[in-house]
Structure 1
Amino acid sequence: MATEATTGPSPINKTAHPFTRGALEDLLSRRFFYAPAFEIYGGVAGLYDYGPPGSALHANILHEWRKHFIIEESMLELDTTIMTPSPVFETSGHVARFADWMVKDTKTGDVLRADHLVEGVLEARLKGDKEARGVAATEEAEVDPKKKKKKAVKTTAVKLDDVVVQEYETVLNQIDNYTGPQLGELIQKFNIVNPDTGNPVDEPVQFNLMFDSSIGPTGKIKGYLRPETAQGHFLNFQRLLAFNNGQIPFASAQIGRSFRNEISPRAGLLRVREFTMSEIEHYVDPLDKSHSRFPEVKDLKLRFLAKDVQAAGRSEISEITVGEAVASKMVDNETLGYFLARIYLFLSKIGVDHDRLRFRQHMANEMAHYASDCWDAEIETSYGWIECVGCADRSAYDLTVHSKATGKPLVARQNLAEPIVEEKETPEFNLKLWGKTFKGDGDRVKAIVNGLGEDGLVKLRDDLSKGPVEVSDANGDKFTITPEMVKIEKKTTKISIREFTPNVIEPSFGIGRIMYSLLEHVYWARESDAARGVLSLPPMVAPTKCLIVPISNQEVFQPLIKDISSKLRAAGVYARVDDSGASIGKRYARNDELGTPYGCTLDFASVQNGTMTLRERDTTDQLIGKVDEVVEVVKDLVFGQLDWEGACKKLPKYTGVQDV
Structure 2
Amino acid sequence: MYSVEWQKRGLPHTHISFWLHDKITSNEIDDVFSAKIPDENVDEGLYDIVVENMIHGPCGALNEKLPCMAEGRCTKQYPRILVPNTITGNDGYPQYKRRSSEDGGKIAMIKKHNSTTIEVDNKYLRPETAQGIFVNFSRLLEFNNGRLPFAAAQIGPAFRNEISPRSGLLRVREFTMAEIEHFCDPNDKSHPKFNSVKDLEILLYSACAQMEGKPSKLMKLGDAVTQKLIDNETLGYFIGRIYQFLIMVGVNGKKLRFRQHMSNEMAHYARDCWDAECLTSFGWVECVGCADRSAFDLTQHSKATGAKLKAERKLSEARIEEVVDVLPRKALIAKQFKAEVKIVLEEIEKVDSNIIESSIKQEGKFDLQVNDKSYSITSEMVEVRRQMKKVHVENFVPSVIEPSFGIGRILYVILEHNFGVREGDEKRTFLKLPPIVAPYKCCVLPLSNKPDFMPFVKQISQDLEDQEIPSEVNTSSGSVGRRYARTDELGVPFAVTVDFDTLKEPHSVTLRDRDSMLQVRLPVNEVAAVIKSLSCGKLSWSEVRAKYPAFIQQE
Give the structure 2 partner of residue 400 of structure 1: 299
Give the structure 2 partner of residue 595 of structure 1: 491
Give the structure 1 partner of residue 180 of structure 2: 280
Residue 454 (structure 2) pairs with residue 554 (structure 1): no
1:85-110: per-residue Cα shift (whole Å, max 9, x none)? xxxxxxxxxxxxxxxxxxxxxxxxx9
CA RMSD of aligned residues (A): 3.8
Give the structure 1 partner of residue 315 of structure 2: 416
| 8 Å Cα contact 1:395-1:505 kept in structure 2 | yes
Q: Quick one: which of 407, 414, 439 aligns to 1:518?
A: 414
| 8 Å Cα contact 1:448-1:471 kept in structure 2 | no
What is the SS of the residue equivalent to 2:152?
A: strand
Quote the offset at 1:566 in angstroms.
0.4
- 2-side partners of 1:236 and 1:337: how far apart? 26
Give the structure 2 partner of residue 305 of structure 1: 205
Give the structure 2 partner of residue 326 of structure 1: 225
- The amino acid of 2:279's aligned partner reads E
- 2-side partners of 1:323 and 1:352: how far apart? 23
Quote the offset at 1:550 in angstroms.
1.3
| 8 Å Cα contact 2:129-2:177 kept in structure 1 | yes
- The amino acid of 2:232's aligned partner reads N
* TM-score when normalising by structure 1: 0.60
Structure 1 residues 558-569: aligned runs within 5 Å: 558-569=454-465
| 8 Å Cα contact 1:404-1:447 kept in structure 2 | no
Quote the offset at 1:218 in angstroms.
8.4
Structure 1 residues 252-401: aligned runs within 5 Å: 252-260=152-160, 262-310=162-210, 312=211, 314=213, 316-368=215-267, 370-401=269-300
What is the SS of the residue equivalent to 1:304?
A: strand
What is the SS of the residue equivalent to 2:497?
A: strand
When residues 416 and 436 of structure 1 are mapped into structure 2, their CA distance, relative to the original with a 3 A threshold, is: farther
Structure 1 residues 430-579: aligned runs within 5 Å: 430=329, 432-433=331-332, 450-452=353-355, 457=358, 461=361, 468=364, 484-485=380-381, 490-579=386-475
When residues 574 and 504 of structure 1 are mapped into structure 2, their CA distance, relative to the original with a 3 A threshold, is: same
- The amino acid of 2:410's aligned partner reads I
Quote the offset at 1:368 in angstroms.
3.6
Structure 1 residues 144-155: aligned runs within 5 Å: none
- 2-side partners of 1:449 and 1:613: how far apart? 69
- 2-side partners of 1:270 and 1:511: how far apart? 10
Give the structure 2 partner of residue 18 of structure 1: none
Residue 138 (structure 2) pairs with residue 238 (structure 1): yes
Greater fraction of residues in strand: 2
Quote the offset at 1:514 in angstroms.
1.0
1:584-629: per-residue Cα shift (whole Å, max 9, x none)? 1111111111221111112233234432111111121111122113
* TM-score when normalising by structure 2: 0.71
1:9-42: per-residue Cα shift (whole Å, max 9, x none)? xxxxxxxxxxxxxxxxxxxxxxxxxxxxx9x9x9
- The amino acid of 1:262's aligned partner reads E
- 2-side partners of 1:405 and 1:206: how far apart? 31
What is the SS of the residue equivalent to 1:279?
A: strand
1:199-218: per-residue Cα shift (whole Å, max 9, x none)? xx99x66989xxxxxxx978
When residues 489 and 601 of structure 1 are mapped into structure 2, their CA distance, relative to the original with a 3 A threshold, is: closer
1:466-491: per-residue Cα shift (whole Å, max 9, x none)? xx478899x99998775545565653
1:49-99: per-residue Cα shift (whole Å, max 9, x none)? xxxxxxxxxxxxxxxxxxxxxxxxxxxxxxxxxxxxxxxxxxxxxxxxxxx
Quote the offset at 1:367 in angstroms.
2.7
- The amino acid of 2:546's aligned partner reads K
Quote the offset at 1:271 in angstroms.
2.2
Give the structure 2 partner of residue 124 of structure 1: none
Give the structure 1 partner of residue 531 of structure 2: 634
- 1-side partners of 2:528 and 2:499: how far apart? 16
| 8 Å Cα contact 2:360-2:378 kept in structure 1 | no
Q: Quick one: which of 519, 544, 555 aligns to 1:622?
A: 519
| 8 Å Cα contact 1:326-1:334 kept in structure 2 | yes
Q: Quick one: which of 521, 529, 547 aligns to 1:650?
A: 547
- The amino acid of 1:649's aligned partner reads A
| 8 Å Cα contact 2:307-2:352 kept in structure 1 | no
When residues 309 and 443 of structure 1 are mapped into structure 2, their CA distance, relative to the original with a 3 A threshold, is: farther
Quote the offset at 1:541 in angstroms.
1.2
Identity %: 47
What is the SS of the residue equivalent to 2:456?
A: helix
- 1-side partners of 2:237 and 2:243: how far apart? 10
Greater fraction of residues in helix: 1
What is the SS of the residue equivalent to 1:389?
A: strand
Give the structure 1 partner of residue 477 of structure 2: 581
Quote the offset at 1:448 in angstroms.
7.5
Considering only CA atoms, is the larger Rg found in Structure 1 or Structure 2?
Answer: 2
- 2-side partners of 1:444 and 1:304: how far apart? 48
What is the SS of the residue equivalent to 2:190?
A: coil
Unaligned runs of 5+ in 1: 1-37, 43-109, 111-143, 148-200, 209-215
- The amino acid of 2:353's aligned partner reads N
When residues 497 and 206 of structure 1 are mapped into structure 2, their CA distance, relative to the original with a 3 A threshold, is: farther
When residues 571 and 426 of structure 1 are mapped into structure 2, their CA distance, relative to the original with a 3 A threshold, is: closer
- 2-side partners of 1:644 and 1:349: how far apart? 16
Of structures 1 and 2, the one with the larger relative CO (CA 8 A, separation 6+) is 1
